Amino acid sequence: MKIAIASGKGGTGKTTVAVNLAAIAQLNGKRSVYVDCDVEEPNGHIFLKPEIDSQQTVTNPVPVIDDEKCDSCGECGKICHFNAIAVILDSVLVFPELCHGCGGCFHACPKGAITESPREVGKIEAGRSYQVEASGKEGIGFIHGILNLNEAMAVPVIRAVRKMIPESEWVVIDAPPGTSCSMVATVRDADYVLLVTEPTPFGLHDLELAYRTVRDLDITAGVVVNRAGTGDSGVGEFCAREGIEILAEIPESREIAEIYSRGSVIINEDEGFASIMAELMKKVEKRIMAEQR
């Protein structure tokens, strides 16, 4: 089962829910994997403190021109929709940072003068987290992608992370905030999406956008309301109107905020929170089973 945790707005507690949902599943005897696709700001590792046992770079195939074979016909510049190649007078200029790695120039070159060479845009690290005491298990599986600083395109890194996700009983995917291409690339093949929000006007506004995005992808979504008890009733009214299920409400709590700010797994330290997560896990599992039947 693949559960993506998303939120229209950042800072709603998305990572908190993702990390602790992975942890509670492990505690309940599932083989659980946490995957961080928020590659611009991956934070899950702060809480799960994984022992990394493998690392790989994510590369983008960018064109290299063989000047011997090139006759400056300009076809590569014509096919490139990203302006990563310009043919000026008799020289071919390549701007690798603009290249999306589509391979168009490579295929289009009539002289076979283009080869592709890998250019690093990010990294993936994988390992195991032993933050949860679960006997006889090998720890929570951990994978995260990291976009290199000064790189603009997160999607190739997300795509590479998704390819590494193992088949497992319980996979929790931490999605990037927002509703843009990065979020879509992350949640697109999830079995279920949990949208984490706050009961405030900002939270509601961004929840509406996120919900529409997920609905357009034809994925079932439920809502987790974080910091319940603050703000107003807008989120509840919206969910009732749209027929979206609220699967959990996490009360505003200074204790939770403090455990979070220290970078600890909250279910280990707060029983109330742990039981909310356990309940959430069961509900999500049921919904996915119903969906698959």
Q: Does 145 participate in binding other proteins (rule CB under 8 A)?
A: no
Binding segment for other proteins among 20-28, 81-89, 271-279, 282-290 (CB under 8 A)?
81-89
Instruction: Figure out which of the listed residues 135, 136, 152, 290 binds other proteins, where binding follows CB under 8 A.
Output: 152
For the CB of residue 78, give the shortest distance to other proteins in the complex, in Å: 9
Q: Which 171-200 residues touch other proteins, going by CB under 8 A?
A: 176-185, 188, 200
Beta pairing class for 192-197 and 170-174: unpaired
Distance CA 273, CA 254 (A): 12
Q: Please report, as residue ranges, which positions from 246 to 275 form the binding site for other proteins (by CB under 8 A).
A: 254, 257-258, 260-263
- Shortest CB 187 distance to other proteins, Å: 10
Please tell me whether residue 165 binds other proteins under the rule CB under 8 A. Answer: no
| Secondary structure E strands in 107-234 | 114-129, 140-147, 170-174, 192-197, 221-228
147 scored as a contact of other proteins (CB under 8 A): yes
Q: Which listed range, 133-141, 167-175, 207-215, 236-244, lies at the site for other proteins (CB under 8 A)?
A: 207-215
Token pair of 117, please? 């060479």
Q: Which residues is 128 bridged to in the sheet?
A: 51, 141
| Tokens linked to 105 | 């120039």
Residue 181 or 240: the one with the smaller Cβ distance to other proteins is 181
Q: Shortest gap between Cβ of 29 and other proteins (angstroms)?
A: 29
CA 180, CA 291: separation in Å to the nearest integer?
Answer: 26
Supply the Cα-derived Rg of the chain in whole angstroms. 22
Q: Compute the distance between CA of residue 27 and CA of residue 254 in angstroms, rounded to an integer.
A: 25
The residue assigned the tokens 């984490």 is 196
Instruction: Please give the residues from 222 up to 251 whose contact with other proteins meets the rule CB under 8 A.
Output: 230-232
Q: Helix 271-292 and helix 14-27: axis angle, to 10°? A: 80
Residue number with CB closer to other proteins (214 or 285): 214
Given 28, 31, 57, 98, the residue binding other proteins (CB under 8 A): 98
Q: Which of 62, 24, 1 is nearest to 272 (CA)?
A: 24
Residue 69 is a binding residue for other proteins (CB under 8 A)? no
Q: Any bridge partners for residue 115, and if so which? A: 64
Q: Are 178 and 186 in contact (CB under 8 A)?
A: no
Residues 6-45, one symbol each (x = binds other proteins by CB under 8 A, - = not), give: --xxxxx--x------------------------xx-x--
Task: Output 180 or 275, the one with its CB closest to other proteins.
Answer: 180
102 scored as a contact of other proteins (CB under 8 A): yes
**What is the token pair recorded at 51?**
């022992």
Q: Identify which of residues 101 and 127 has a Cβ nearer to other proteins in the complex.
A: 101
Helix, strand and coil percent figures for the chain, each rounded to 5: 35, 30, 35
Site residues for other proteins, window 113-132 (CB under 8 A)?
Answer: none
CB of 223 to other proteins, least distance (A): 16
Q: Which of 123, 128, 205, 283 binds other proteins (CB under 8 A)?
A: 205
